[in-house]
Amino acid sequence: MRCTRCRGQEACLEIRRHNAAYCEDCFLGFFRDQVARAIEHDKMFRRDEPVLVAVSGGKDSLALWDVLLDAGYETAGFYISLAIPGYSEPSREKCEVFAAARGARLIVVDLEQEYGLGIADTAQRTARAPCSACGLSKRYLFNKVALDNGFRVIATGHNLDDEAATLFGNVLRWQTGYLGRQAPVLPEEDGLVKKVKPLYRLAERETAAYAVLRGIDYIVEECPMSRGAKSLLYKDLLNQLEAASPGSKQSFLLGFLDKARPLFHEQEEVELHPCEQCGQPTTTPLCAFCRLRAEVARPRRPRGGGRRRDGRGGPREAAPPVHAAGAPLAATSGLAIPLTPAEP
């Protein structure tokens, strides 16, 4: 099959939702165009605005950082070490090697060493699922580190598959609050930096193809905590739909953003004020992150529910409600996707 763009070269990747197939050069051009289109169409950031890119060591975030560096944007990478055994070390190394090879700045925060919140340990010490503690910590640190380092925009590598799966999950449970906030751009507001997702028009296999063609060494293994995550099931279901009807994922997501999201977007203003402990914006006296730290620092009760000999004590108290908690559905897949076959 010939490339539908240049008509000269043999195509290496078919993109059925666009009714197109591209050679390597034209595919890279297509990928860059889609990112540029998202940045401009959704007014994500200007040429002169520095962007903090959240990187995990996976294909999506490193592809995003690469495409922005290549386009001449001023960026720094931001990696959070989650202290997940067998996963955090190699993923950090991928980010460090990527940054060093390009002479780019990488900011690293070690959640365990700096905040006492290694994800595996935090999940054990609290009643939380690991992804809940992880999502909460990431949201907090994205904002704090961006502000501390003079960035007003943070970009994440969420792709079309991630966003469609998140949307599917939110629709399945009619999470109207989350539906109102699902967007490729969340604007800056009182103490919160702007959050953008420049890859939301590109499928997961396209970010994998871009990473392979650009020689990016990314971590292929998924985070071990994502095993059994609902988002993976939703991605499978949407992939089946896409195989039978190319373009379904894209029309599901873009149609929602265009026609339905405004219906869920809450008009009511939420009042943010500084957390009494750390100063980050929150709706409660202490922010969720500070409450999580306090919960983890609390001495552990003895095994067996901690019931004392005098009969008092009893089972562990329920965890306090946490502002803006909830695990992100976007457990990124690190599948090494072959370049040639049609979409799954």
Which residues lie near ligand Q46 (CB under 6 A)? 119, 130-131, 134-135, 223, 225-226, 327-328, 330-332
E-strand ranges in 167-304 read 185-186, 194-196, 273-274, 281-282
CA–CA distance, 15 with 4 (Å, rounded to integer):
10
With beta carbons less than 8 A apart as the criterion, state whether 184 and 257 touch: yes
CB of 89 to ligand Q46, least distance (A): 14
Q: Where in 268-307 is the site for Zn ion (CB under 5 A)?
A: 275, 277-278, 287, 290
Q: Residue 292 Cβ, how far from ligand Q46 at the closest point, in Å?
A: 14
> Closest approach of Cβ 263 to ligand Q46, in Å?
28
How many of the chain's residues bind Zn ion (CB under 5 A)?
5
Instruction: Give me the residues paired with residue 186 across strands.
Output: 195
If one asks whether residue 82 binds Zn ion (CB under 5 A), the answer comes out as no
Measured from the CB atom, is 274 or 305 closer to Zn ion? Answer: 274
Nearest to 64 by CA among 131, 170, 153: 153
Q: Which is nearer to ligand Q46, 38 or 117 (CB)?
A: 117
Q: How far apart are CA 255 and CA 164, in angstroms?
A: 11
Residue 120, contacted partner among Zn ion, ligand Q46, none, CB below 5-8 A by kind: none
Cα gap 160→207, rounded to integer Å: 10
Given ligand Q46, Zn ion, none, residue 77, with its beta carbon under 5 to 8 Å by kind, binds none
Q: How many CB atoms lie within 10 A of CB 282?
A: 23
Least Cβ distance, residue 190 to ligand Q46 (angstroms): 26
Nearer to ligand Q46, 165 or 192 (CB): 165
Half-sphere exposure of 108 (CA within 13 A, CB side): 17
User: What tokens appear for 131 in the block?
Assistant: 């992804």
| CB 155 to ligand Q46: min, Å | 15
Can you tell me whether residue 50 is helix, strand or coil? coil
CB under 5 to 8 A by kind: which of Zn ion, ligand Q46, none does 131 bind?
ligand Q46
Q: Which is nearer to ligand Q46, 32 or 181 (CB)?
A: 181
C-beta closer to ligand Q46: residue 203 or 229: 229
CB of 120 to ligand Q46, least distance (A): 9
The SS3 call for residue 197 is: coil
Choice between 97 and 129, CB closer to ligand Q46: 129
Provide DSSP, 326-341: ---S---------SSS
Task: Find tokens 């028009």 and name the residue.
Answer: 201
Residues that bind Zn ion (CB under 5 A): 275, 277-278, 287, 290
